[in-house]
Amino acid sequence: MSIPVTGFSHVRITVTDIAQSRAFYDAVLGLPVAFAATPDADEATRAEEWWLFGGVVYQVPGGFFGLRPVAPGGDRFTEDRAGLDHLSFGVASRADLDAAAARLDELGVAHEGVKDIGIGQLLEFRDPDNIALELWADA
List the domain boundaries for the chain. 1-73, 76-139
pLDDT at 19: 95
Contact predicate 122/109, CB 8 Å: no
- Quote the pTM value: 0.91
Task: Give the domain 1-73 fold.
Answer: 3.30.720
Handedness of CA 103, 105, 109, 113 (dihedral sign): positive
pLDDT at 136: 97
- Specify the 3-state DSSP secondary structure of 93: coil
Output the CA–CA distances (angstroms, integers) from residue 43 to 34, 38, 48, 54, 57, in the order listed: 22, 11, 9, 12, 20
pLDDT band with cut points at 50, 70 and 90 for residue 33:
very high
* 73-96 tens-digit pLDDT: 889 899 898 889 999 999 999 999
**Cα angle 107, 95, 28; round to 5:** 25
> Which of 30-39, 73-82, 83-92, 111-120 is predicted least confidently?
73-82
Contact predicate 127/69, CB 8 Å: no
pLDDT at 103: 97
Say yes or no to pLDDT of 7 above 90.
no
pLDDT at 57: 98
Say yes or no to pLDDT of 8 above 90.
no
Output the CA–CA distances (angstroms, integers) from residue 56 to 2, 7, 32, 69, 103, in the order listed: 32, 22, 10, 9, 23
Domain 76-139 has CATH 3.10.20.30: no
